[in-house]
Amino acid sequence: MLTADLARSRTSDGEVTPLFIDPDDARYRETASELVELFETHVGDPKADLDTAIDQLTVADTDYKIIQGLAKLLRDECDFETVAAAEPYEIRQRLFERANDSYPIVRQPTLDEDTRKLDVYTAVADELGISLAECHQGMYADLDANNRLVRFGDQIAESVELDTDGTTSTTQLTGQSEEAYKGEALTVEWLLNRYNLALAQAVLYDATELRIRVWDQFATVFSYVKLFGLMHRIYPIDEHGERVSSTDLAAGYEAILDGPASLFRQSRKYGIRMANFLPALPHCERWDLTAEILVDESANETRELTLDQTAGLQTHYSGGSRYDSDLERTLADKWERANTDWELVREDDVIDLGAEVLLPDFALEHPDSRRAILEIVGFWTPEYLEEKLDKIQQADVENLVLAVSEELDCTSEDIDLGAERLLWFKTGIHVYDVVDLAEKYAVQAASVVH
Amino acid sequence: MRIEFEEGTLLLPEASEDVPYVEWDDRVKEYRAPAYRYRSLLEWVDAWDGNTSGSTVEKPAQQETIQSTTVAAEDAARAYPALALDPALQIEPREYQQAALNAWRTHDRRGSVVLPTGSGKTFLGIQAIADAGVGTLVVAPTINLMNQWHATLTNAFGDQLPHKGGDGPEQAIGVLGGGTHEIRPITVTTYDSAYRYIDEYGDQFGLLIADEIHHLPAPTYRQIPEMAIAPYRLGLTATYERADDAHELLEETGLIGPVVYEEAVDELAGEYLSEYETIHMQVELTDDERSQYDEEYGLYREYVDTHDFDLWKAEGYQEFLAHTSYDSDGRRALIAKQRAEDLARTAAKKLDTLDTLLKRHHDDRTIIFTANNDFAYEISQEFIVPCITHQTKTDERTEILERFRSGEYSILATSQVLDEGIDVPAANVGIILSGSASKRQYAQRLGRILRPTDERQPARLYEIIATDTMENYVSQRRREGVEAGA
């Protein structure tokens, strides 16, 4: 993400607009390409060298905020590591202890042969079993500027070795190893799209409240709402974004997002979380957001940020529900092989339970249009489960059933194992148990919550 | 009723609307209160027991069910330990320190103490921690001050707290900030880090100490006391009142409490500027440095002269900076200025002069100041002297200062880490290789570090500047400020 000093936005009439760049503009494509190449050629080098090279690009350029911003996003894709033959702190401590007995250590010897400095370094190098050059280089190898760029995107430095003269010789690799690296290939498109997203995120750091409206991909969007710990109220809305009385009539959902303390005071406390959430939205075909941006906290002066899908933002977050698990995959596999009329389908419902939305994992559908919703609960406490059942009852979702793992239970004595709508399972979920539940609780599709 | 801590607030399941301080949170269908109301809520249910001092219980006294005549409350919010601590400092509290501590105690261990700079506010903080006997968070405005607290607290309590991940006592005090994230029963942090994490750790500390508390009323920082449950709170400062009157907030809302003790500045001032002698030295730039300097400085001057900025005034300089963001020549001029400054600050011949001085004073206790980290590290490697910069991790910094204090190390190099209110072990020689124009910083450095070793020999302060550079002007302005103000 961008630091505040690299953010670029314009304000007029109480509206704040991020200064997006056109990812097709040749000027920016060239800058982006230049930067990516610069990072590539510095794999294995000290961070300071990379920084100097980037600064050099901005010497007489008023676009330096853009250049430094792009560079910041690329730096976020890097790993820097300390490369030293011995623990730098250890080297330093030994050097200073020894030197303190030998002062003055000077550069211009008064006597012809003053070798105190060399003596100190050599003695410590010998103690540690490393070379003199390694001792000198390693002394401050853990400084931020001396750390080496060991990974950039999917490229890693195969080995960073020290030459005897203390300078580096690096073998560079361009990601062709069998090992699976976590990074991805960093392209000009990727960078410029990420930059626009980061500009919008930077505005959101100062947000006190975020209102979003989405008309598809509910499960993905609300799973990110939960992931970032944002508190929310959700309202069903129609095609035009107007609130409607029931989820039956919903074409989409509107949510107000903030955090627990916002009950007492407007603050930008949850701005970072809201900024982190933003990339979830472009998963939707149609979305919009309105954010209250705090300009002056003491005067409580705010501005407004509005964005929608026409801004052309691209997401780098993965789609689909965040709750995918082996368990669910296994159940789906078993279902394939099973003999039942019921069909197991991936679910995109959002059920508002008040404090949280329920994003059920599956729906069970019968050819005669009966339908049940299945939520798998892997992690729970008795309180959590009780609360959840309570809320489900309140929410009046009659066709919702839960499969709950016994394995992860804390104190099952507290819970009535015979509770309705519950399927307890130990290691895996059996298809026919689920079918039984579905037979019992499913309702005709016309009245399901959707 | 149950009191839980959730993200900087208190969640009160089974509360009712007659419970004070609560608001109905429709999102979770529960009552909620700001975290700082923790003690008041316990007092309301008549379950407040302030006698934590002296207890040796180490584990959080959680899940404790407390009965009262009217409402039963279960305190599931408190996650801080009781600590039995005895400050290892040999120093007797001065009279006013004892008076301040007493005043704070009789105000239910809440409120601020106003004492002049250099009068031992940190010492008072240590007494307060031992007195309250609970897990404590110390919040300081800068990383430097945070580091100083770390060093002092390590001295005072390091041996009495469990160490973690290492055998040195400096591992006993937690650090949150400056690249370290280690929460311990006693933890030091900065306002910035505390603001970021207080919703997460607001239940971990029973005493909140805010140093330089006049910074706290800023809207953002105000959330630190708001989101902490700490029933005990202590503010420390030399300058309590704010121009915007925001300090009143700390008192009115119960975020910290009132000023419980105040000592006038002039009663204590004047003690800590010692006798010293200043020696100014000039070095030439090398030919290479000179031609680079002239080129860069020329670029800068030319731009400034053609634009008529009045750089000796703050507005003029602001105007120049504004230009640099849209005019590419201006941008180049700014960089030229920075490069010229760097050349002057790190002139090679300064190292030769330093060399000479270190020879002369190799038996003394010397602190070398630079204005940039790289130069400090260069000196550290060249002369093999320990070095402290903003980048030095808190533990290592505490250790180096301790060794300098004990005499184990006799020379110390540092970049500008000795600003506002920083304690540095006394030295009798200071060498300024480069500095900024800040008068206050200069004066504080002089006054704080230099102590004559004996009656006949005054402490020495050397200032080495590069001739015919911007440094001349800066140095002169600095001295004018000091001499006029001293």
What's the first-to-final CA gap in chain A, in angstroms?
36
| Weakest-pLDDT range from A80-84, A342-346, B443-447, B458-462 | B443-447
Checking if the pLDDT of A175 tops 50, the result is: no
Checking if the pLDDT of A22 tops 70, the result is: yes
- Give the gap in angstroms from C-alpha B258 to the nearest C-alpha of chain A: 22
B94/A115 Cα distance (integer angstroms): 50
- Give the gap in angstroms from C-alpha B266 to the nearest C-alpha of chain A: 34
- Residue B174 confidence (pLDDT): 94
Contact residues on chain A for B383, CB-CB shorter than 8 A? 99, 104-107, 117
Inter-chain residue contact A140 with B381, CB threshold 8 Å: yes
Confidence of residue B134 (pLDDT cuts 50, 70, 90): very high
Checking if the pLDDT of B86 tops 70, the result is: yes
- Residue A101 confidence (pLDDT): 86
* Cα-based distances in Å from B466 to A137, B51, B344: 29, 62, 6
Residue B249 and residue B178 in contact, taking contact as beta carbons nearer than 8 Å: no
Contact residues on chain B for A103, CB-CB shorter than 8 A? 358, 362, 410-411
Please tell me whether the overall predicted TM-score, pTM, comes out greater than 0.90 for this model: no
Contact residues on chain A for B372, CB-CB shorter than 8 A? none
Which of B283, B312, B276, B321 has its CA nearest to residue B457? B276
Inter-chain residue contact B359 with A144, CB threshold 8 Å: no
Mutation target to probe the B interface, by most B beta carbons within 10 A, among A96, A117, A208, A234 is: A96
pLDDT over 70 percentage in chain A:
80
Checking if the pLDDT of B185 tops 90, the result is: yes
A70/A336 Cα distance (integer angstroms): 47
**Residue range A374-379: mean pLDDT, rounded:** 71
Contact residues on chain A for B411, CB-CB shorter than 8 A? 100, 103
B125/B398 Cα distance (integer angstroms): 18
- Residue B197 confidence (pLDDT): 93
Inter-chain residue contact B7 with A263, CB threshold 8 Å: no
- Residue B476 confidence (pLDDT): 59
> Which of A62, A104, A297 is closest, CB to CB, to B362?
A104
Inter-chain residue contact A263 with B384, CB threshold 8 Å: no
| Weakest-pLDDT range from A176-190, B39-53, B298-312 | A176-190
Residue A137, token pair as written in the block: 């280089």
In one-letter notation, the amino acid at residue B164 is K
- Residue A407 confidence (pLDDT): 55
Which of A25, A342, A334, A422 has its CA nearest to residue A188? A25
- Per-residue pLDDT tens over the stretch A151-170: 998 888 876 655 444 444 44
Checking if the pLDDT of A410 tops 50, the result is: no
Confidence of residue A233 (pLDDT cuts 50, 70, 90): confident
Inter-chain residue contact A261 with B328, CB threshold 8 Å: no
- Residue B473 confidence (pLDDT): 62
A207/A292 Cα distance (integer angstroms): 5
Inter-chain residue contact B384 with A105, CB threshold 8 Å: yes
- Per-residue pLDDT tens over the stretch A331-364: 888 888 888 889 888 766 777 765 556 777 788 8
Contact pairs from chain A to chain B, CB under 8 Å: 127
In one-letter notation, the amino acid at residue A57 is L
Contact residues on chain A for B351, CB-CB shorter than 8 A? 107
- Residue B401 confidence (pLDDT): 87
- Per-residue pLDDT tens over the stretch B369-384: 887 889 999 999 999 9
Helix H or strand E segment including B351? helix B348-360
Confidence of residue A432 (pLDDT cuts 50, 70, 90): confident
Inter-chain residue contact A267 with B27, CB threshold 8 Å: no
- Nearest residue on chain A to B322, alpha-carbon basis: A62
> Which of A58, A139, A229 is closest, CB to CB, to B381?
A139
- Give the gap in angstroms from C-alpha A67 to the nearest C-alpha of chain B: 13
> Which of A92, A110, A268 is closest, CB to CB, to B359?
A110
Inter-chain residue contact A100 with B408, CB threshold 8 Å: yes
Inter-chain residue contact B223 with A267, CB threshold 8 Å: yes
pLDDT over 70 percentage in chain B:
82
- Nearest residue on chain A to B21, alpha-carbon basis: A264
What ipTM is given for this predicted complex?
0.77
Checking if the pLDDT of B257 tops 60, the result is: yes
> Which of B8, B220, B355 is closest, CB to CB, to A108?
B355
**Residue range B138-144: mean pLDDT, rounded:** 91
- Residue A112 confidence (pLDDT): 53
- Nearest residue on chain A to B395, alpha-carbon basis: A89
B126 vs A236, higher pLDDT: B126
Residue B19 and residue B12 in contact, taking contact as beta carbons nearer than 8 Å: yes
Which of B157, B149, B150, B168 has its CA nearest to residue B132? B157
B321/B327 Cα distance (integer angstroms): 10
B240 vs A241, higher pLDDT: A241
> Which of A89, A97, A139 is closest, CB to CB, to B396?
A89
- Residue B73 confidence (pLDDT): 81
- Nearest residue on chain B to A263, alpha-carbon basis: B25
- Give the gap in angstroms from C-alpha B107 to the nearest C-alpha of chain A: 27
In one-letter notation, the amino acid at residue B19 is V
- Nearest residue on chain B to A298, alpha-carbon basis: B219
- Nearest residue on chain B to A270, alpha-carbon basis: B196
> Which of A108, A263, A265 is closest, CB to CB, to B352?
A108
- Per-residue pLDDT tens over the stretch B392-404: 888 898 899 889 9
Contact residues on chain A for B395, CB-CB shorter than 8 A? none
| Angle, helix A26-41 to helix A47-57, in steps of 10 degrees | 160
B265 vs B218, higher pLDDT: B218
* Residue carrying the six token digits 């204005």: B371
Checking if the pLDDT of A183 tops 80, the result is: no
Which of A113, A121, A118 has its CA nearest to residue A96? A121
